[in-house]
Structure 1
Amino acid sequence: MSDSGPDGGYYWCLRHQRVESGADLCAAKYRLGPYASKADAEQALQRVSERNEEWDAENARWTGEQG
């Protein structure tokens, strides 16, 4: 997959807090993605938060911690 243009996907830029695509891309270390749509990229931080909560809960179950 190419890193440029809508065919290369949409990215959430952690540095600028916006969706980027095409030639308007920050360095990879500042991006989440690629996502298939602009709407998916706009939800990137919410998805990261939800996944982190799921993984924390799974880790707690795995280690027998009560939370």
Structure 2
Amino acid sequence: MSKAPQYWFCLIHRTVEGRDGCKNADRLGPYATEAEAAAALEHVQANNEAWDNDPTWDDDAEAEDKKED
């Protein structure tokens, strides 16, 4: 039984890698296709922008909670 190929985006080398690439701490994935892995940074940016504009998410409230402790 063969596994489907997987791809990662290496944050160090800024390239798409296969399973035997850099350590997982230095890359994003796995992704099902090379194209998805190549677009990893765009996907991360889109998620960050969505979270930044999410009215239900409040980073400042968590910081305030920690100050009160």
Root mean square deviation of aligned Cα: 1.6
User: Aligned match of 1:14 in 11, 14, 30?
Assistant: 11
Structure with max Cα Rg = 2
Stretches of structure 1 that go unaligned for 5 or more consecutive residues are 1-5
1:22 Cα offset (Å): 3.5
Which residue of the partner structure matches residue 36 of structure 1? 32
Which residue of the partner structure matches residue 48 of structure 1? 44
The alignment's TM-score, normalised by the length of structure 2, stands at 0.72
Tell me the SS of whatever aligns to 2:16: strand
The alignment's TM-score, normalised by the length of structure 1, stands at 0.74
1:8 Cα offset (Å): 4.6
CA distance in 2, matches of 1:45, 1:14: 9
Give the % identical residues. 40
